[in-house]
Amino acid sequence: MLPFGGGPRPLCRNETTLAREVAGSVFCADKGYRLQCAAAQQAVTMSIMHTATPVRHSSLPLYLSGNTTTQQNEQLRQCLGEAIDEAYKTAIEQLDRQSAQVVLDSGDRVRWEVAQSVVEIVERHTASDKYKDEQVSSARTYPPTYRVRPVEAQVTELRKLFPSLGACNEKIGRRPLPDGAEGWFAIPRWQALAPTYNEAVEMLVEVMAGKRKFSNRILGRLGPVYLRQSERSKLAEKILSDQQQGCDILVVAAQAGMLHRGCSARRTRAVLAGNEFGLGVFSFGSLLLTHPERLSSGEALMVDCGGDEYSVRGDCTFDRVPLFDYDISGIEFSIFYEDRARNLWGTPTGFLYKMT
C-alpha cells in the first residue's frame, strides 16, 4: 500500500526522455491500463445514463497527502523548463526558414498543444507502474436495473434499518461530482452504530443477511485480528467526518467498482488518484443496503473491498481483502488474495473534494 506522505515518483530521472516526449507528443506509456481505464469510464457513463442531464464534474479534489510544497513546485518548474528548452533545440534542428515561419504563424495553437502535451506527460508519470502485471481486461458491468438513487431516498432507507441514525447533510448530493465518481452515496459513520469498526461490520452483515439470501463464509472471523480498515480509508473517513460535522450519515462521492475492474486490490491501491480511497466492507455494505440491485445477477461485476485488509489466520498478516460475490444462492461474503487479478470484480472507491 502506498504511504500517505509519498508523492509521485521523480519526474527528472531522464530529462532527455522527457524532452523527447514533449517534442514528439508521445502518450503511449502504460497504454494497456490507460485504455482499460478509458473503457471503464465509458462503461460507467453508459451505466448511469438514467440522469436527465449530464453530471458536471467540477468539484475540486481534496488530496489526502496534501498539496505540493514550494520546494516541489520549484523543482518541477526547473525540470519541465529544462525539458522544454531541450525540446526547443531538437525541434529547431528540423526546421528551415519557411517551416519556422509556418510554426510561428500558428503560434497560439502551438502553445496550446505544447501545454496540453506537457500536462498529459506529467499526469502519465504520476501514475504508478507498481503491480502493473496484476490487471486483466474485463467486460463485466453493472446490472441493467442498477441506478444510483437520490441521497434523500438512501437516507430514508438507512433510517428504517438503523433507527438510531441522526442528521445528514443531504444537500451535498446536489453538488457537482468529483472526477471519477458515479454518484453521491449515503454512508453511515460506523461510530454512530457501534463502539468499534468490527462490531459495526458484524451489525451491518447481520442486517444484510436478514434482507436477502446471504452466505457468510467468514462467520465468526470479523474481529480486529482478522479485519481492519486501511490507513488511507481511515484518514479519508476522518476528513469526511470533519467536513460534515454533526452528521451520523455521510454523503460520499463514489464509484461502485467499474473504474478499477480487472485489477488486483493492491494494484488498485497503487493507482488511486490523490483524492481517492478504497471503500471497505461497512461502506460498500451500506451501499448494497440502499442499492440491492448492484449485486443482483451472476453476470454483474463483483466487488473486492480494498478499503479493508484481512488476515486469514488472524496473525497480523493482512494479505487478503473482503469480497462480495453473487450466484444463484444469493450474495456470498468471503475473502480473496490482494495480489490476484480477476476479470470478475473491481474495487469500489470514494473521492474527497473541497467544501467551498
Q: What is the pLDDT along the chain (356 residues), one digit of tens a residue?
A: 333 333 443 444 444 555 455 545 433 334 454 445 555 555 554 444 443 333 444 578 888 877 788 998 999 889 888 888 888 889 889 999 999 899 999 989 989 988 898 888 887 887 788 999 999 999 999 999 999 999 999 999 999 999 999 999 999 999 999 999 999 999 999 999 999 999 999 999 999 999 999 999 999 999 999 999 999 999 999 999 999 999 999 999 999 999 999 999 999 999 999 999 999 999 999 999 999 999 999 999 999 999 999 999 999 999 999 999 998 889 999 999 999 999 999 999 999 999 87
pLDDT of residue 329: 85
pLDDT of residue 51: 35
Cα–Cα separations (whole angstroms), residue 174 to 63, 106, 118, 165, 333:
22, 42, 34, 21, 33
pTM: 0.77
- DSSP state at residue 168: B
pLDDT of residue 131: 94
H/E stretch holding 214 reads: strand 214-216
Phi-psi category of 314—alpha, beta or left, where left has phi over 0 and alpha has psi -120 to 50?
left
H/E stretch holding 156 reads: helix 151-161
d(C-alpha 11, C-alpha 19), whole Å: 11
Q: Which parts of 27-106 fold into alpha helices (H)?
A: 31-47, 70-92, 97-105
Cα–Cα separations (whole angstroms), residue 120 to 27, 125, 152, 199:
7, 9, 38, 45
Residue extents of the structural domains in the chain: 1-356
Closest CA to 243 of 118, 356, 80: 356
d(C-alpha 260, C-alpha 265), whole Å: 9
Supply angle C-alpha 303, 308, 312, rounded to 5: 95
- With the C-alpha atoms ordered 208, 149, 267, 352, is the resulting torsion angle positive or negative? negative
pLDDT of residue 245: 96
Residue holding cell 502519465?
124
Phi-psi category of 151—alpha, beta or left, where left has phi over 0 and alpha has psi -120 to 50?
alpha
In b/e form, how buried is each residue of 131-163, taking b as 16+ CB within 10 angstroms?
Answer: beebbbebebbbbeebbbbebeebbebbbebbe
Q: Where are the beta strands (DSSP E) in 246-344?
A: 249-255, 276-278, 302-304, 308-310, 320-327, 330-337
pLDDT of residue 20: 53
d(C-alpha 213, C-alpha 215), whole Å: 7
pLDDT of residue 252: 98
The bridge status of strand 349-351 relative to strand 276-278 is: antiparallel
Residue 87: how many CB atoms within 10 A of its CB?
20
CB 256 within 8 A of CB 287: yes
